[in-house]
Structure 1
Amino acid sequence: MSRTLILLALLGVFTCVNAHAIPRCELNGESVNPNNGHTTAGKSGVMRCVDEDGQVRRREQTLRDGRFVGPVVMVLADGERREYSVNDRGNRDGVARTFDGKGTLRKEENLEDGAAVGVQKNFAEAGHLQELHFALGRRTVLTIGYLADGALSELRCAPVTLVPQDRDVCGHAGRASEVTLYREAGKPSGTVSYLKGQMQRQTVLDREGRLVRSEELKDGRRIKRVFYASGQPRSETDFIERDPNSSEGREGTAREWAESGQLTQVSTWVGGYEQRIEQWYLNGQRKVRQQIRREGRNQERTTESFWDNGKPAAVNQERNGRLWGWQKYFSEDGVLQREEEHGERGLLLRRKRYDAQGALEREERFLEDGSRI
């Protein structure tokens, strides 16, 4: 073998060894291997590991009777430092902190058996508090976002006060709050008002300061509106405000508009279900009118469709999403052209065809396989 090939082979061996470098660990002055339980069995103390080539450059972990339980310190290749504790189940438990490569605290968590509980904090690179969260029952129930000057950038409140910072802004001080939110210093992103943690009003602005969305609680109804960039309304929902745990469904009206201002759809909800739907063409003519009825587990829907000249186009009957009963279809002049009867499972049973004047021209009956008689 040539000298060059030998050198390349040796280089490959060294590279391979380097890529799979094993951390150097010691416990109470003795060399140990965290991946070999025999070297740590029954021992207590702080194991310290160094790996100059690994993602985790330094690791300090507490052992109690051979088990990893208690404080942990990890330093990553980019200088990030993590401090936390693990319980006897191996899950993070207690206060956990993360520092960036410059030593600035970036995250402070309160954990219970691996799950976030209570106050959680995120800090900006400059060091100021950026986000404050409160976790309860594996859900984040409170969020407050801050800019460097202390102005709020985000606010979501809980029904009760959870931290001193939420008392005034969430309306827990006996009166509704009035808060302006900012996307950056001097650039408002909207406003929000809370009373006892319940949102009363909200506006959302785009970067040009134009109203994008609004929401208000009025006379027990939650009204939400979305706007086009021109300021014209795009959609509106007006529903009775229900307790989230209530068995009662949504009840109210939803509307949609074209940017021209033409109303294009209105949906009415009762008892959690759509009861009526109406649609219009951009020229103002009615497009669709639907009525939905419920009888036990069955849903029946009648749909009237119209041509853009206002003449009827079709009348369809459905049961549980399938055509049922007689269906009618009309020409653009509003003259009946075809009728079809559907039975169980939507199967076509009969068809009637009419001429241009609306007189019966042909009638057909259908068997289950689609053949005609």
Structure 2
Amino acid sequence: MTPKRRAAPNRLAVPSPGAGAILLRAAAAALWVLAAGAAQAAIDCELNGRRVNPSDGSTTVGKTGLMHCKDRATGELQREQQVQNGTFTGLVRFYEKGKPAREHTLNANGNIHGLAREFGPDGQVLREAIYDDGQERGLVRSFYPGGRLRRATFYPSTGTDRAFVEFTERGQMSALRCGETPMLAPVADDARLCGFTGGPSQVQLFDARGILRSRLSYLSGKRVRSQDFYDNGKPSMQDEIIGNQRIERQFSSEGVKRRETMWLLIERNAVRQREQEFSEKGSLVRDQRWTPAGEPVREDSYYLNGQPRSKSAYSGSGDARAVEITEFYETGQRAAHGRYLVAGRGRGRQMPVGKHQRFSEKGTLLAESSFDARGRVTRERSWDENGELERDDHVLEDGSKK
């Protein structure tokens, strides 16, 4: 939290950066521009009928009243600010084209305190917030020019938990974030929307055109199911929590499931357990599985006709982890087989060991390579389609053959 600092009585008070809100940044920037003389238009300020310079504390020292600042060329009012005994404390109001644009109150620390508001060109309130020594507290609201609520965010007095709700200009809900407890009343019934009462909730979110974008379900403030939609109404994504499992599904714009991932929820972590990929027509093309510790168990891939393309089976642990890989022709006939030691976590670097074989589509053995425990090939053999031996080479450590 930004340390509190008392503004010097003869200097322009700028709100603390700890407030962190758009209103605060805009106000601070406007004050800096006036004080530094960087504005394109010249500004004249007066206090109690006498000309003063906000950047020169000697012109305001010991004075109390409401300072008025106007554009020298047009005479339009730019700013009003209270001065108390030479310190800029109290009301601050900014104008655009002679109309109020923003207003807030500064405390003795130079921080925004109390009600702060922004206005549209017709005087309508666009944003309002309550500050406590530079920090937003409670419900902060922003509005559309027509008066409808655009967004409401609740800032608690302690902790960092926040909740917010957003609406379209039509008045339909477009976004929701639940807190650990209901926080958004009276602008939204988040006790019901967030599933604190009456069991799991059912929430619908819309875009600016009125098209349904998401269906959500919350229980005790936590999202347990969500579903997003394409423009055509087809689902694009589903995400749900069942017990200690989370399942995520992704779909094409035609409504075909393309991916499904299952996660194991352990305290604050999620460990992937299974992931399936599907073709544009919905057939399974890849299936991967992991242990609760996140180590691979199986990885299978498939042709579009449903026949297996490859199968990988993992075994062992630590330095003894290994994977056996079998590849297939589209007919289902085995094409190749081999075993690898796996170095490192996950799939890691694979080192061939033992015999690795390749077969014809008729199932005839065509080639065989033998590897030692260091992954070095020691023997290579090959056969023709009729099973006749064509080559049998012993491979020496220097790579030569005999």
Corresponding residue of 2:16 = none
State whether residues 380 and 395 of structure 2, in contact with CA within 8 Å, keep that contact through their aligned partners in structure 1: no
Deviation at 1:314, TM superposition (A): 5.9
Q: 1:289 aligns with which of 312, 322, 327?
A: 312
State whether residues 115 and 138 of structure 1, in contact with CA within 8 Å, keep that contact through their aligned partners in structure 2: no
- Compare 186-195 and 323-332 and name the one that shifted more: 323-332
| Change in CA separation of 1:260 and 1:29 when aligned onto 2, cut-off 3 Å | same
Equivalence map 1:88-107=2 (5 Å) = 88-107=108-127
1:167 alignment partner AA = A
1:318 alignment partner AA = V
1:85 alignment partner AA = T
State whether residues 44 and 65 of structure 1, in contact with CA within 8 Å, keep that contact through their aligned partners in structure 2: yes
Q: TM-score, normalised by structure 1?
A: 0.73
Cα distance between partner residues in 2 of 1:338 and 1:193: 56
Cα distance between partner residues in 2 of 1:60 and 1:117: 25
Q: 2:393 aligns with which of 345, 361, 364?
A: 361
| Change in CA separation of 1:268 and 1:71 when aligned onto 2, cut-off 3 Å | farther
State whether residues 107 and 121 of structure 1, in contact with CA within 8 Å, keep that contact through their aligned partners in structure 2: yes
Deviation at 1:301, TM superposition (A): 6.7
Corresponding residue of 2:34 = none
| Change in CA separation of 1:151 and 1:326 when aligned onto 2, cut-off 3 Å | closer
Equivalence map 1:224-235=2 (5 Å) = 224-235=248-259
Cα distance between partner residues in 2 of 1:82 and 1:91: 15
1:70 alignment partner AA = G
Unaligned stretches of 5+ in structure 2?
Answer: 1-36, 384-388
Provide the secondary structure at the position in 2 that maps to 1:162. Answer: coil
Corresponding residue of 1:154 = 175
- Compare 220-229 and 305-314 and name the one that shifted more: 305-314
| Change in CA separation of 1:355 and 1:147 when aligned onto 2, cut-off 3 Å | same
State whether residues 119 and 132 of structure 1, in contact with CA within 8 Å, keep that contact through their aligned partners in structure 2: yes
Q: 2:155 aligns with which of 125, 135, 143?
A: 135
Q: 2:276 aligns with which of 244, 252, 255?
A: 255
1:121 alignment partner AA = R
Cα distance between partner residues in 2 of 1:336 and 1:196: 62
2:175 alignment partner AA = E
| Change in CA separation of 1:323 and 1:215 when aligned onto 2, cut-off 3 Å | closer
Corresponding residue of 1:192 = 216
State whether residues 89 and 106 of structure 2, in contact with CA within 8 Å, keep that contact through their aligned partners in structure 1: yes
Over residues 309-339 of structure 1, what are the superposed CA-to-partner deviations in whole Å (9 max), with x where a residue is unaligned?
Answer: 5523765433236646545866575755666
Deviation at 1:129, TM superposition (A): 0.8
Equivalence map 1:306-325=2 (5 Å) = 306=327, 309=330, 310-312=334-336, 315-320=339-344, 323=349
Over residues 116-143 of structure 1, what are the superposed CA-to-partner deviations in whole Å (9 max), with x where a residue is unaligned?
Answer: 4432212112111122222357857322
1:228 alignment partner AA = S
Unaligned stretches of 5+ in structure 1?
Answer: 1-16, 344-348
| Change in CA separation of 1:18 and 1:236 when aligned onto 2, cut-off 3 Å | closer
Deviation at 1:77, TM superposition (A): 5.6
Cα distance between partner residues in 2 of 1:341 and 1:51: 87
2:116 alignment partner AA = A
Equivalence map 1:60-75=2 (5 Å) = 60-75=80-95
State whether residues 320 and 341 of structure 2, in contact with CA within 8 Å, keep that contact through their aligned partners in structure 1: no
| Change in CA separation of 1:221 and 1:249 when aligned onto 2, cut-off 3 Å | closer
State whether residues 258 and 282 of structure 1, in contact with CA within 8 Å, keep that contact through their aligned partners in structure 2: no
1:201 and 2:225 matched: yes
Equivalence map 1:337-352=2 (5 Å) = 350-352=376-378
Cα distance between partner residues in 2 of 1:45 and 1:251: 65
Q: 2:49 aligns with which of 29, 33, 46?
A: 29
Cα distance between partner residues in 2 of 1:299 and 1:52: 83
Percent of aligned pairs sharing the same letter = 25
State whether residues 60 and 73 of structure 1, in contact with CA within 8 Å, keep that contact through their aligned partners in structure 2: yes
State whether residues 299 and 320 of structure 1, in contact with CA within 8 Å, keep that contact through their aligned partners in structure 2: no
1:178 and 2:202 matched: yes
Corresponding residue of 2:7 = none
Over residues 154-175 of structure 1, what are the superposed CA-to-partner deviations in whole Å (9 max), with x where a residue is unaligned?
Answer: 2232231113221222222333
- Compare 108-117 and 124-133 and name the one that shifted more: 108-117
State whether residues 306 and 314 of structure 1, in contact with CA within 8 Å, keep that contact through their aligned partners in structure 2: no
State whether residues 21 and 53 of structure 1, in contact with CA within 8 Å, keep that contact through their aligned partners in structure 2: yes
Cα distance between partner residues in 1 of 2:57 and 2:326: 75
Q: TM-score, normalised by structure 2?
A: 0.68
CA RMSD, 1 decimal = 4.1
2:92 alignment partner AA = V
Greater share of residues in strand: 1
1:304 and 2:328 matched: no
Provide the secondary structure at the position in 2 that maps to 1:230. Answer: coil
State whether residues 131 and 145 of structure 1, in contact with CA within 8 Å, keep that contact through their aligned partners in structure 2: yes
Provide the secondary structure at the position in 1 that maps to 2:207. Answer: strand
| Change in CA separation of 1:202 and 1:97 when aligned onto 2, cut-off 3 Å | same
Corresponding residue of 1:346 = none
Using CA pairs below 8 Å that are at least 6 residues apart, which structure has the higher relative contact order?
A: 2
Provide the secondary structure at the position in 1 that maps to 2:191. Answer: helix
Provide the secondary structure at the position in 2 that maps to 1:160. Answer: coil
State whether residues 58 and 75 of structure 1, in contact with CA within 8 Å, keep that contact through their aligned partners in structure 2: yes
State whether residues 350 and 364 of structure 1, in contact with CA within 8 Å, keep that contact through their aligned partners in structure 2: no
Q: 1:84 aligns with which of 98, 104, 128?
A: 104
- Compare 285-294 and 212-221 and name the one that shifted more: 285-294
Cα distance between partner residues in 1 of 2:43 and 2:320: 67
Deviation at 1:74, TM superposition (A): 1.5
Cα distance between partner residues in 1 of 2:243 and 2:124: 48
| Change in CA separation of 1:180 and 1:339 when aligned onto 2, cut-off 3 Å | same
| Change in CA separation of 1:67 and 1:319 when aligned onto 2, cut-off 3 Å | farther
